Structure 1
């Protein structure tokens, strides 16, 4: 099924809160049909049909998506090296992340996750395909959590926010070569990591209040690039 690349943080950190599960009965699907699926796969669907299909699909599959996400989350908390490491580093800063404040929900936006000090980590169950994508998003948000606990981050300072996104994309593993090559069809060989981090940090910045357009977002990322890309803390080196 055709898809576009989503930023890990599709919304401002300030505005990223966990949507409450819906208990309201849903009307019968209009777009979520086999005929629309086939037209999407064939590349013949209109943008309206594609959006409608995906929105209704996410509503119909909300419960199973969240259960799958929670299963992946619990496995990663126990067995993922990067998640286990970040959990320990966050604890050293006085924070705690566990299954109670890492929650899976259906998200209506293009984000795949989010973080706030007040609520913890949000995983967008309807946007995460498999355990690997859950791991990348969880690691990304855990790096945000560490940065917020370690430093005095100003949510209204766009340079601070750009630095957060550069570090999270660099250190989470979401920009490793295999992910770029096989999943996102990015075939650049030289400076692949830098190219991916710049692209994804700029994409995340586009959703921040005060960012005018992609040119403005790229400018902010470039202003803090050297210092933020070269800082691997709390790792000894960049995790790949």
Structure 2
């Protein structure tokens, strides 16, 4: 069965807050693609291993493979959440970065622990433009930090994700951020630059060995900029990539040089 389309993943594991989108913003999003077994070759009513062998035999389209992956993450939700919680507890107790950020959040009268750092399954979305939208976590001023258990690859990945969201938490307590971009997107752009820079997710080993980016010149800066732009684009008030790039460029110099609460880029 020949593929009918090739889903493209958005920048890996984009992490962003979870504000409530307006109805107007929701209508601007490309429609979500639903599975059709006749078109994709993936039939959720059959055994998982039957679909798996159909994928190996080339009888499932890339779109069908996306829906198969989602069905397996749903089936393994309890296992993934348990593993995520074990990694979370270890990071809260033993990660120097996470422990430092936790102390700095507490110094601003905040609290981050097992009660408001939660592991949940985060369904991915395949939209009609062929893009797969995933996230590895999110921060909400009202609820805390979400870690997407089905996207956690290993303990180090969870540590990076948790540190990223903890930078958002510190920024919110320190400056009362405009998360949704109701006024403008500069606040969102600044905190995304800082979170990508300080969390360790753009360090050379992560970019090179995990994402296959072996560029030596400006690799760190390019990673921070790319991930900040992608996260700003996820804001409901952001119209397109042009607006996201503009917002990041406007605050780049001041926010990229701001390493608080660290003295320097630690990871």
TM-score by length of 1: 0.87
User: Which residue, out of 34, 40, 47, partners 2:49?
Assistant: 34
User: Which residue, out of 119, 123, 139, partners 1:115?
Assistant: 139
The yes-or-no answer on 1:129 pairing with 2:135 is no
User: What 5-or-longer segments of structure 2 have no aligned partner?
Assistant: 1-6, 22-42, 125-133
The yes-or-no answer on 1:167 pairing with 2:194 is yes
Cα deviation for residue 45 of structure 1 reads: 4.0
User: Which residue, out of 142, 155, 177, partners 2:166?
Assistant: 142
TM-score by length of 2: 0.79
Q: Assess, with a 3 A threshold, how the Cα gap between structure 1 residues 3 and 71 changes in structure 2: closer, same or farther.
A: farther
User: What 5-or-longer segments of structure 1 have no aligned partner?
Assistant: 17-27
User: Which residue, out of 11, 16, 19, partners 1:14?
Assistant: 19
Paired residues, number: 227
Deviations 1:168-190 (A, max 9, x none): 00000000000000001111101
User: Which residue, out of 178, 182, 193, partners 2:205?
Assistant: 178
In 2, Cα distance between equivalents of 1:56 and 1:238: 39
Larger Rg: 2
| Runs of 4+ residues over 6 Å off in structure 1 | 41-44
Q: Assess, with a 3 A threshold, how the Cα gap between structure 1 residues 121 and 43 changes in structure 2: closer, same or farther.
A: farther
Moved more, 44-53 or 67-76: 44-53
User: Which residue, out of 202, 215, 223, partners 1:188?
Assistant: 215
In 1, Cα distance between equivalents of 2:229 and 2:58: 28
Structure 1 SS opposite 2:138: strand
Task: Tell me if structure 1 keeps the 8 A contact 2:198–2:266.
Answer: yes
Cα deviation for residue 30 of structure 1 reads: 3.8
Cα deviation for residue 40 of structure 1 reads: 5.2
Q: Corresponding residue for 2:257?
A: 230
RMSD (CA atoms):
2.3
Q: Corresponding residue for 1:20?
A: none
Q: Assess, with a 3 A threshold, how the Cα gap between structure 1 residues 151 and 33 changes in structure 2: closer, same or farther.
A: same
Cα deviation for residue 108 of structure 1 reads: 1.4
The yes-or-no answer on 1:217 pairing with 2:249 is no
Q: Corresponding residue for 1:48?
A: 63
In 2, Cα distance between equivalents of 1:31 and 1:207: 35
Q: Corresponding residue for 2:234?
A: 207
Task: Tell me if structure 2 keeps the 8 A contact 1:7–1:203.
Answer: no
Cα deviation for residue 191 of structure 1 reads: 1.1
Q: Corresponding residue for 2:39?
A: none
In 2, Cα distance between equivalents of 1:85 and 1:32: 46
Cα deviation for residue 79 of structure 1 reads: 0.5
In 2, Cα distance between equivalents of 1:193 and 1:31: 45
In 1, Cα distance between equivalents of 2:53 and 2:230: 30
Deviations 1:58-105 (A, max 9, x none): 110000000000000001111000000000000000001001110000
Structure 1 SS opposite 2:118: strand
Structure 2 SS opposite 1:15: coil
